[in-house]
Structure 1
Amino acid sequence: MKKQRRISLLSNYIFHNKYLFIFGVIGFLFWCADFFAIFKKGELILPPKYSLKKRPSFLRGLLFLMAIGAWALISFSLMGPKTPMGKSNVKKEINDIYFVVDVSRSMLAEDFPPNRLEAAKGQIRKFIELSPVDRIGIIMFGDKVFTLIPVTTDLKLVEQSVEQINIGFLGSGTNIGDALGLALARSETSVAENKSIILLTDGSANAGLMSPMQAAEKAKELGIKIYTIGIGGDPDAKLPVGRDAFGRMRYQNMPGQSMDFETLQKIAEMSGGKDFVASDNESLNEVLSEINKLERKGLEIKGRIIYQEDYYKFLLAGVLLLILIESTRRLYLREVA
C-alpha cells in the first residue's frame, strides 16, 4: 500500500530532465569520500582506550543517514520536478477580412501607374503589413468568381497569393453580386465577430446570378460590413488594346462614367460599411485606417499547460539538511575538512 502511494506521489510530477540526478549522485560520492576520509593522508591514532577524545559512532551513523536523505533531495531537485496546474486559455483577437478584387479587362487602365490592378495589389500588400493579427482572404471576379485563398493567419502565404491576382481566365465581365455572395458564404461560418469585405472594382455589375443589392441585404443580415472602393473615375483614362504593326501600344478611351458609384454607395450603406472613390492611393489608405479601428472579439484558444515549479522546495530542504550535517561535523564532532 505504501509502495503504491510512493508511485502515485512520483507520478504527480513531470521532470525537465530525469538524467540530471546523476550530478547529485556524483556530489554524494565526493561527500562520502570526505566523510570516510578516503583520500585523507594517513595519521597516527591511539587505540580507543588511550584516546583523549571519543568519537560518538552513533551520531556519525545518524549523520550519514541524514546525508543520504539530503543528497536524495538535491538529486531530485536537479531533475526539475514540476506539477501541471492546468491549461492556459489565451484570448486572441481576430478579425476576418476578404478582399474581393475585380480582374476584368478594364482594370488594365493606366490612370494608376502602372495600371489599376497593380495599384490595387500594392495596397493589398500594404494592408497585410498593417494587419499582422488579422485573417485575410482573397476572392477574384470577372464573369466568373474564384477564391484565390480563404481567410488565413498565414500572411506570408496571402502575400505570395497577391502575385497571382491577374486578368484573363475569369472573363472580362464584372460579376460583383456573385463575388460578394461567395465572400459572405465563406465568412458566415467564421468564429470572428468582426467580419468585413473590401470590394475593389472599377465598373458596374453586368454578370452573375446574384445582384449587388441582394448581396448587400445578405451582408446586413449577417452583420458583415462591406467597404466599397471605386477605382478610377478619370474620364481621360486609357485602356491598352494591343500593339500596332510598328510595335507601338494602342489605347482606347476608358470613360469614368462606366463606374456605378450609386450602387457602390448603397452596398456600403446597407451593410454598415463605407464607400470610397480611389482616384489615388490615399483614399484606399482611409479604408485601411477604418478597418484597423474595428473592435475584435477575443477567440479563446487552448494554450500551453501551466506548470508549478517544485524543484526549489527540494533543493532548499536538501541544502539546509546538508548545512546542519556539516555544522554538526565541524562544530560538535570537531572534524577537520
Structure 2
Amino acid sequence: MSGLTLNSICKSYGTTEVLKNISLEIEDGEFVVFVGPSGCGKSTLLKLIAGLEDISDGTLHIGGRDVTGLEPVERGIAMVFQSYALYPHLSVYENIAFPLRLQKKSKEEIEKAVANAARILDLGKRLQYKPGTLSGGQRQRVAIGRAIVRNPEVFLLDEPLSNLDASLRGQMRVELSELHKDLKTTMIYVTHDQVEAMTMADRIVVLRDGVVEQFGSPMDLYHYPNSKFVAGFIGQPGMNFIPVDVTAVGKHIAIETASGTQSIIPVRPEGVNINDKLELGVRPEFFELCEPGNGLEADVRLVERLGGNSLIHANLKDGTRVIASFDGLRDLPDTGCIWLKYDVAHAHLFTKSGKALCKIS
C-alpha cells in the first residue's frame, strides 16, 4: 500500500492550461474521490497519476518514490475505466488472468490470484462464462478483478459506474466500499456524481476549472464549504442561495432578505460592512414550515414525494427559487402560499465572489 504526494502539478495543452498548481497529500489506504463538473480536469488529473499523460510541471510521488517520468507499468498502479474493456472471446477467468499472463506468471500463481479475486468479487460461479452473458455489474466486477490480481499500490477508477442503471450503481457503490475495506489499498475514484463522492470517499477533492476548490471529508465539505461552488455542488439537492443585505456588523452579522425577514448569522464578519450584499445559504433540510409572518413567504411550484422525504419547490417573493425537504409522511400543500423559517445555526453567508464567511461554532 502507498500514499501519493502531488506537488504543484500543472498540465497544459499548447497555450491552454487545464490543471493549475495542484498539490495534494493522499494518505496510505485512503479512498479519495475527485469530483466536479464536466471539464474541471478530474479525469486529466487521474491520467497524469496513471502516466497516460505527461505532467507539464510539478512532481508526483507514490509510496515515497518519484514517479513523475516513469511509464505506467513502472508506477505500481492499476486502472479501471468507464468502459469495461473486456475481451469478448475470452472467459471471465482468462480476462482476469490476462495481465498475469503478460507478466509471465506461473500457472499456480495465476490460479491462486484469480481464485482470490473471484472470491472477493463473488465471481466464482461465473469464471467460465463469456462477458456477453454477464450483467453490467458483473462485467464491471470482472474489470475490477483484472486490476486486483496485479496487486497494485494504488487503484485508479475513472467513472466505473456511469454505464450502469441507477439501482445497480447503488449496489456497486456498496460493493466498492466493502472492497476497499477488505483490500485496504489506496483508491482514487473519479466521478461527476456527488452522491457517489459523499457515500464512498474518506476524503473528497472538489475540482473546478483546473484548480482544487476544497479537499476534505464528505461531512466537512457538506457542513463547512469554503465557497458557494462547493456548497451548491455537494448535497442532493444542493444548497439554496438567497440574496440578503447586511444591516449590522458586530460579533456576528445581521442580515435582511428582500421581503424584510431579519436574522443574525453566526459567522465572522471580517471584511464585511453595513449595506454589503451577500448571499444566504440554507440547505433544504434546515427549512421548516412556520406561521405566516414569521419567516420567508413563498409560493409552492411543485412537491416531489420521494417516499422517505418530500421536496417542496417554491418561489420567494423576490423570485428566488428554493427547495425545502420534509419527512415523507408529512402532509404538505401542493399549491398556494407557505411560510418557511430556517435554522440560523446551520446557515451560511457568501460574498459576491463566492467565498464563504467563516462560521463560528
The TM tier, using the shorter chain, reads under 0.3
Larger radius of gyration: 1
Structure whose residues are more often helix by fraction: 1
